[in-house]
Amino acid sequence: MKPSHKLLFVLCLVLVLGYIYYSSGKLHLHVWGQKPQIELEPTLIVLNISQRPTEVDLEPTLIVLSEGQRPTELEADIALTVGQTVGSAYDKQGFLQKLDGKLPAELGRQYVNLTEGMCRPGYAAGMMTAIYPKFMKPAPMFLDRNFKRLAKVSNYLPPFGFKTQENIIDNILTTTKYYGLGQDLDGLNCKKCVIVGNGGILSNKSLGPRIDDYDVVVRLNEAPVNGFSKDVGTKTTMRITYPEGAMQKSESYEKDSLFVFSAFKPLDFKWLKHMVYNEKLRVTEGFWKSVARHVPRKPKEMRILNPYFIQEAAFQFIGLPLNNGLMGKGNIPTLGTVAITMALHNCDEVAVAGFGYDMNKPYLPLHYYEKVKMSAIKESWTHNISKEKEFLRKLVKAKVIADLTNGI
Ligand SMILES: *[C@@H]1O[C@H](CO)[C@@H](O)[C@H](O)[C@H]1NC(C)=O
Ligand SMILES: *[C@@H]1O[C@H](CO)[C@@H](O)[C@H](O)[C@H]1NC(C)=O
Ligand SMILES: *[C@@H]1O[C@H](CO)[C@@H](O)[C@H](O)[C@H]1NC(C)=O
């Protein structure tokens, strides 16, 4: 072979191998990627109840749901796609209208031998699926080196995905090296998680010991533990935060907790890289308030929260405006709801504390650690608190999550 032919041959080989590698990646997407889109004609529909339909084997059948009958996942899915006519048992978001909090029979059978208070495997996901049949549990908590396979987030810009940030994330993850909760927690076959919100509603309830009893304690932003442990506990498994929300004083960080980063804009990843490499942060333009300049955590104690939870909370659970998949007015869920969404996918039981406000008592503090009153609450441009609360209420009413402070 002439050298130029040889070169051409090698080039072709590389292209072919590259393509095979690329398509194998695509195939993996479906592990927890987008469900195949099923194009349905309007009105009556479709399907053979015994199996999940694929594009090729849809068969017209009519589903009639009688009141009180719990539809199978598939029926519900279709009913949702068709619209409100067939699936009147479901609301616009796809949640069952009638939420009674009853344990589905199959879960009841599974838990028959558990003593009261023991961790019930699969409880949160099972209860969620009962009221929201579209729920698909698998969604990793943190990004790992295979993050590009996560189909649902690869096509969205932050905060709903990681598009345009792949290289910097790759770089960060190479250094952080760890992508789970740690051996002990990852090894549990049943995990109870509590998300501790920052609400003043936590004050004077002495819930600390109860919170510490959970396997995983999630705290948000700068919410302190020191000085408040009677009410909020002492344990912190992870603290989820973003640049403007992160604690600015190094001494405020508790030992042995994971620093979990949640990005809301592309610039946030750049900030994280500086924190991971302990580099001096020179430019702080683009942040909406001052940001932490140093995070006293080793790279192996840092994680990147899967942005899927922001996307799913916003567009599927709460029903915020899609805005072409871009951040816009009132379409960003609060970090607390993002954390709950993460827990629904990754914990067997989920509880929350410190969520919600009692608007009838505007003199109470907004946060448990500040004097700011609730009446100071401002109309938020980014969040839609009332729509978000509707979603959280469904979870509490259906007993998918337990609300330890009864604020939701
Ligand atoms: C519950 O315990 C009984 C008696 O030990 C046993 O026969 C049964 O299989 C157990 N059920 C489950 C679901 O583990
Ligand atoms: C909690 O108790 C302390 C001391 O009794 C009191 O000063 C404070 O106002 C209480 N806070 C709330 C929110 O009730
Ligand atoms: C929240 O959602 C409601 C209902 O969709 C809408 O009327 C309201 O304007 C939204 N608020 C914000 C801040 O976007």
- Tens-level pLDDT at each residue, the chain (408 residues): 555 666 555 554 544 544 545 555 444 444 444 443 333 333 333 333 333 433 333 333 333 344 444 544 444 444 454 444 455 899 999 999 999 999 999 999 999 999 999 999 999 999 999 999 999 999 999 999 999 999 999 999 999 999 999 999 999 999 999 999 999 999 999 999 999 999 999 999 999 999 999 999 999 999 999 999 999 999 999 999 999 999 999 999 998 999 999 999 999 999 999 999 999 998 788 998 899 999 999 999 999 999 999 999 999 999 999 999 999 999 999 999 999 999 999 999 999 999 997 767 888 899 999 988 877 777 788 999 999 999 999 999 999 999 999 999
Cβ distance 313 to 337 under 8 Å? yes
Give the nearest ligand 1 atom to 113 CA.
1
In a domain? residue 210 = yes
Q: What pLDDT score was predicted for residue 373?
A: 83
Q: What pLDDT score was predicted for residue 283?
A: 78
CA distance 125 to 276: 33
**Nearest bound ligand to CA 373?**
2
Please list, in sequence order, all residues whose beta carbon lies within 8 angstroms of the beta carbon of residue 152, skipping any fewer than 6 positions away: 32, 33, 34, 161, 308, 311, 312
In a domain? residue 295 = yes
How many angstroms separate the Cα of 86 from the Cα of each of 50, 113, 128, 163, 260? 19, 38, 21, 37, 42
Give the nearest ligand 2 atom to 204 CA.
1
User: Ligand 3 in contact with 329 (CB < 6 A)?
Assistant: yes
CA distance 150 to 166: 12
Token output for 140:
């990793």
Cβ distance 205 to 230 under 8 Å? no
Whole-model pTM: value is: 0.81
Q: What pLDDT score was predicted for residue 378?
A: 73
Which is it for strands 192-196 and 258-261: parallel, antiparallel or unpaired? unpaired
User: Ligand 3 in contact with 384 (CB < 6 A)?
Assistant: yes
Task: Count up the domains in the chain and report the number.
Answer: 1
Output the residue whose Cα is nearest ligand 1's atom 8. 113
Structural domain for 195, as ranges:
105-403
Please list, in sequence order, all residues whose beta carbon lies within 8 angstroms of the beta carbon of residue 50, skipping any fewer than 6 positions away: none
User: 3-state SS string over 186-221?
Assistant: HHCCCCEEEEECCEHHHCCCCCHHHHHCCCEEEEEC
CATH of the domain at 285: 3.90.1480.20
Cβ distance 159 to 91 under 8 Å? no
- Mutate which of 204, 364, 367, 368 for ligand 2? The one with the most ligand atoms within 8 Å of its CB, which is 204
Q: What pLDDT score was predicted for residue 22?
A: 54
User: Ligand 1 in contact with 1 (CB < 6 A)?
Assistant: no
User: 3-state SS string over 220-253?
Assistant: ECCCCCCCCHHHHCCCCCEEEECCCCCCCCHHHC
User: Ligand 1 in contact with 62 (CB < 6 A)?
Assistant: no
Question: With left for phi above 0 and alpha for psi between -120 and 50, is residue 281 left, alpha or beta?
Answer: beta
In a domain? residue 21 = no
Cα-to-centroid distance, 351 and ligand 1 (Å): 28
In a domain? residue 75 = no
Cα-to-centroid distance, 382 and ligand 3 (Å): 10
Give Rg (Cα) of the chain: 23
User: Ligand 2 in contact with 228 (CB < 6 A)?
Assistant: no
Residue 353 in 3-state DSSP? strand
Token output for 357:
């406000």
Q: Nearest 5 degrees, angle CA 316-CA 394-CA 327?
A: 30
CA distance 273 to 286: 16
Token output for 333:
């869920």
How many angstroms separate the Cα of 192 from the Cα of each of 35, 118, 210, 213? 28, 10, 12, 9
Token output for 58:
């849809």
**Nearest bound ligand to CA 381?**
3
Cα-to-centroid distance, 39 and ligand 3 (Å): 30
Cβ distance 354 to 219 under 8 Å? no
CA distance 310 to 306: 8
**Residue 351 host element (H or E):** strand 349-353
CA distance 387 to 266: 26
**Residue 28 host element (H or E):** helix 3-28
Question: With left for phi above 0 and alpha for psi between -120 and 50, is residue 64 left, alpha or beta?
Answer: beta
What is the CB neighbour count within 10 angstroms for residue 96? 19
Describe the strand order of the beta sheet including 302-304 as a list of residue ranges.
302-304, 258-261, 238-241, 216-220, 192-196, 349-353, 402-403
Cα-to-centroid distance, 115 and ligand 1 (Å): 12
In a domain? residue 65 = no
- Residue whose token pair is 């448990």: 368
